[in-house]
Amino acid sequence: MTTPTSTGELSFAAALNAALGDAMERDPEVLVFGEDVGALGGVFRVTDGLAARFGSDRCFDTPLAEAGIVGFAVGLAMQGFRPVVELQFDAFGYPAFEQVVSHVAKMRNRTRGRLPMPIVLRVPYAGGIGGVEHHSDSSEGYYAHTPGLHVFTPGTVADAYSLLTSAIESEDPCVFMEPKALYWGRGRVDREREVSAAPGTARVARAGRDVTVVTYGSQVPTALQAAQVAAAEEDWDLEVLDLRTIVPLDDDAIMRSVTKTGRCVVLSEAQSFAGVGAELAARIGERCFHSLAAPVLRAGGLDVPYPPPKLERFYLPGVDRVLDAVARLQWDDEPDPRWLDPGPTDSRPRPASRTALR
Amino acid sequence: MSAAIDHLLPCAAPVRLVDQAGRAVEVPQDGEVAGRGYGMPAAATLKRLWQAMVLARRLDTQATALTKQGRLAVYPSALGQDACQVAPVLALHEQDWLFPTYRDSMALFTRGIDPVEALTLLRGDWHCGYDPHAHRTAPACTPLATQAVHAAGAAHGMARRAGSAPPRAAALCFVGDGATSEGDFHEALNFAAVFHAPVVFFVQNNTYAISVPLERQTKAPALAYKGVGYGIRSEQVDGNDAAAVFSVTRAALEHARAGKGPVLVEGHTYRVQAHTNADDASRYRQDSEVAQWRERDPVERLQAYLQTRHGLTAGDIDEQVDLAESRATELRQRMQDEPVVDPDELFRHVYAQPTPHLRDQADLVSSESASAP
């Protein structure tokens, strides 16, 4: 059996499809299943053609029951298979939460390593595609909070291929978060993966001197756009660090960047409260305190339920929200005026935003 | 009833081969019990069943005693459910897989798992104490019915390994009556049916889910009927009649191994002890009810049958009781030692390779242990 060596430009969805096909070609134990992944090829066409190519016993539709799908994967993993499961939409993964948290994540630990769970749970996640309710959640925080799971968050086409391949080869269960808004973007794929692209290795997506923007998944393009605008309009040189995987987390790369720039904004699409961004901000504070010229700020989604399509532009972090955060990084060595007054939150002064200034 | 579902329906009454007094039940040759291939197991099989039940019950009683000495954190007794735990496990082949719950210690003992390893979960020095592959037994499962979906998936995996041949191996999954209200139970039945998986779901209907009685769980005429809607062959059996439980479960496993699909079996039984040693059953049931069920004791019933029909002697009984006593003594002695735990093990099995973050926390715990007085 040969490993395809072709490289070329693919869509994010096609890169995932190529990773699945190549993995199924290499390893007969890899099984792909879920809702609508067979004849339809998945609602986002990520499994397109796999049933025809590998047979409907290796890529198959299941009954519409997410706990059943994930529990079925646990049983198959016990028998030595490597299930790759599609959970169709972020919020549709919630019925499977008990199976994920109590079994997928814990089985290796419960059995002292005797029953590893090499399962991949593919989760199309996040918004920006005009989806109606329950179709746009950023649910990575639930999984990242759960010991025993790896959480991969590709934000580029190259990583779609490289990280999904790594996830399928891993002996540990992996929740693989696929940003829906990026499915149709195109980029180059290297099917001969570089060692530097291993999970747990962050990537400097853009080198810069002044501020580190730490991000992942759906917000990688936003961070890069913000860096372009900042360079053109504000003379700020932003470094963009794409984490690629939340678990394992590349603390070293974050420290290298933030100790260099001395300022940091953490950008994620998820609601900010008690989320991955909060963990990142805390870790950076712990590790880089003496290098920081300003507190680490978070830019992200709002702490409201994900809004209906006509309102999602107000929810999603964009270039302006990122640059507003950058602007508050105490460039004049002045504290943020909002936090000086110990009075009630409602009476604090509001900062002007770039949007408001236009 | 429509003829199209007759093959799925359970017998009208629970299958019974030995009555409460230990007498053989007349099984008409043209009746539904004989028609489904159920019949009295051979004398040697019955004796093995009885021996295993005497042993399992003594270890179960010992485990309850160990909670009083603080040697087990908690113990959910299986007393009264002996036939439902021992007979199905003796009907298993070595290559079959067992999916037990936290109440199935008697099943684990009967599967040949070292009692100390079987009780690790309840002793509290780890979660699963035995090697699942060595015994083809999944970890005893606490979240109700979640293991039923694993059993369906594992059974599908076994069938896949067999290719176009019959699967030859099957999965046996225990659940309780309360668990039949959980969504995972229904998803498991549905997946098993759709994938034609070689799995037998055995419901130990012990009448109570902690304190909540069966009539608050279901309005079904019997839990066995829950299989019919999924297109699953279903059966109900007197769960205190070890001979009948063995016969029905063996037939169900043969059905599954022959590639004919999954089976749901309901065993009607009773949890004689409280939910665990920490529970107070007097708050939700009458002593008179418990006394009635003690009259239906599964071990005494089979013993009486063997005495009258197969010449089981007082000497045979003494011999088995002595053997059980010596195993209980051995268990008690082995449990007296405080288990040695290793804090480093907290980090060893979370991932195949610990993440840098976990290595940091392992160092923290290690330094805390080193500086502890």
Instruction: Print burial letters for B336-372: b (CB count within 10 Å at least 16), e (below 16).
Output: eeeeeeeeeeebebbbeebbeebeeebeeeeeeeeee
Quick one: A151 and A69 in the same domain? Answer: yes
For A109, the closest chain B residue by CA position comes to B349
Quick one: A254 and A180 in the same domain? Answer: no
Quick one: A148 and A32 in the same domain? Answer: yes
Domain-ending residue, one of A165, A194, A223: A194
Domain membership of residue A2 (yes or no) is no
Chain B residues with CB-CB distance to A67 below 8 A = 146, 149, 183-184, 187
B156:A110 CB<8 A: no
Percent of chain A at pLDDT above 70? Answer: 93
Pairing status of strand B208-209 against strand B212-213 = antiparallel
Quick one: B326 and B362 in the same domain? Answer: no
Quick one: A151 and A277 in the same domain? Answer: no
Is the pLDDT reported for residue A334 higher than 60?
yes
Domain-ending residue, one of A194, A223, A247: A194
Quick one: A220 and A303 in the same domain? Answer: yes
Give which of A190, A124, A161, A159 is closest to A16, Cα–Cα. Answer: A161
**Alpha-carbon distance B308 to B43, whole Å?**
12
Domain extent, residue B368, equals 343-373
Section B228-242 average pLDDT: 97
Residue A338 pLDDT: 80
Is the pLDDT reported for residue A356 higher than 80?
no
Quick one: A129 and A147 in the same domain? Answer: yes
Domain membership of residue A299 (yes or no) is yes
**Domain harbouring A128, CATH code:** 3.40.50.970
**Alpha-carbon distance A273 to A269, whole Å?**
12
Q: Which pair of tokens denotes residue B250?
A: 């063996």
Tokens 């107000």 found at: A314
Is the pLDDT reported for residue B299 higher than 70?
yes
B61 to chain A nearest CA, in Å? 26
Quick one: B364 and B310 in the same domain? Answer: no
Quick one: A183 and A88 in the same domain? Answer: yes
User: How distant, in Å, are the alpha carbons of A95, A102, B100, B103 from that of B183?
Assistant: 10, 15, 18, 20
Residue A6 pLDDT: 53
Quick one: A249 and A266 in the same domain? Answer: yes
Quick one: B363 and B331 in the same domain? Answer: no
Residue A3 pLDDT: 40
Section A65-92 average pLDDT: 97
Quick one: B98 and B125 in the same domain? Answer: yes
Mean pLDDT over each residue of chain A, to the nearest integer? 94
Domain membership of residue A185 (yes or no) is yes
Domain membership of residue A1 (yes or no) is no
Residue A254 pLDDT: 98
User: How distant, in Å, are the alpha carbons of A158, A236, A240, A241 from that of A208?
Assistant: 22, 9, 7, 10
Is-contact B94 B134, C-beta < 8 A? no
Section B190-199 average pLDDT: 98
Quick one: A190 and A221 in the same domain? Answer: no
**Alpha-carbon distance A90 to B91, whole Å?**
43
Banded pLDDT at A192 (limits 50, 70, 90): confident
DSSP H stretches of helix in chain A: 12-26, 50-54, 66-78, 97-98, 107-110, 140-144, 157-169, 220-229, 251-261, 276-288, 312-315, 319-327, 354-357
- Reported as a single tens digit per residue, the pLDDT across B322-360 is 999 999 999 999 999 899 999 999 999 999 999 999 999
Quick one: B319 and B170 in the same domain? Answer: yes
A78:B190 CB<8 A: no
Residue A4 pLDDT: 45
- Reported as a single tens digit per residue, the pLDDT across A207-248 is 999 999 999 999 999 999 999 999 999 999 999 999 999 999
Cis before A248 (ω within 30) = yes
Give which of A334, A224, A285, A342 is closest to A351, Cα–Cα. Answer: A334
Task: Report the alpha-carbon angle B215-B221-B226, nearest 5.
Answer: 100
Beta-carbon neighbour count of residue B290 at 10 Å? Answer: 17
Active-site annotation holds for A135: yes
For B187, the closest chain A residue by CA position comes to A68
Quick one: A60 and A160 in the same domain? Answer: yes
Percent of chain B at pLDDT above 70? Answer: 99
Tokens 């001979």 found at: B243
Is the pLDDT reported for residue A166 higher than 80?
yes
- Chain A interface, best mutation among B96, B117, B128, B150, by max A CB count within 10 A: B150
The backbone region for B42, taken as left when phi is positive above 0, alpha when psi lies in -120 to 50, beta otherwise, is beta
Mean pLDDT over each residue of chain B, to the nearest integer? 96
B149:A67 CB<8 A: yes
Give which of B235, B244, B301 is closest to B87, Cα–Cα. Answer: B244
Section B156-167 average pLDDT: 91
Quick one: B223 and B349 in the same domain? Answer: no
Nearest to A76 among B146, B156, B345 (CB): B156
Quick one: B291 and B181 in the same domain? Answer: yes
Give which of B372, B371, B351, B332 is closest to B70, Cα–Cα. Answer: B332
Quick one: B267 and B196 in the same domain? Answer: yes
B155 to chain A nearest CA, in Å? 8
Give which of B130, B80, B126 is closest to B106, Cα–Cα. Answer: B80
Banded pLDDT at B83 (limits 50, 70, 90): very high
Please state whether the predicted TM-score (pTM) of the whole model is above 0.90. Answer: yes
Domain extent, residue A335, equals 203-357
- Which of A6-10, A89-93, A282-286, B174-178 is least confident? A6-10
Percent of chain B at pLDDT above 90? Answer: 95
Any B CB within 8 A of A80 CB: yes
Chain A residues with CB-CB distance to B157 below 8 A = 75-76, 78-81
Residue B208 pLDDT: 95
Is the pLDDT reported for residue A205 higher than 60?
yes
Quick one: B290 and B362 in the same domain? Answer: no
The count of structural domains within chain B is: 2
Is the pLDDT reported for residue A7 higher than 70?
no
Is the pLDDT reported for residue A357 higher than 90?
no
Quick one: B173 and B302 in the same domain? Answer: yes
Quick one: A303 and A335 in the same domain? Answer: yes
Is the pLDDT reported for residue A9 higher than 70?
yes
The count of structural domains within chain A is: 2
Residue A196 pLDDT: 62
Residue A348 pLDDT: 66
Section A82-92 average pLDDT: 97
- Reported as a single tens digit per residue, the pLDDT across B250-281 is 999 999 999 999 999 999 999 999 999 999 99
DSSP H stretches of helix in chain B: 3-6, 32-35, 43-68, 82-90, 105-110, 115-118, 120-123, 132-135, 146-162, 183-194, 242-257, 287-294, 298-310, 314-334, 345-348, 356-371
Residue A1 pLDDT: 31
Quick one: B322 and B359 in the same domain? Answer: no
Percent of chain A at pLDDT above 90? Answer: 88
Banded pLDDT at B167 (limits 50, 70, 90): confident
Domain-ending residue, one of A139, A160, A194: A194
**Domain harbouring B72, CATH code:** 3.40.50.970
Quick one: B182 and B266 in the same domain? Answer: yes
Chain B residues with CB-CB distance to A62 below 8 A = 191, 194
**Alpha-carbon distance B31 to B359, whole Å?**
66
Quick one: A35 and A143 in the same domain? Answer: yes
**Domain harbouring A255, CATH code:** 3.40.50.920
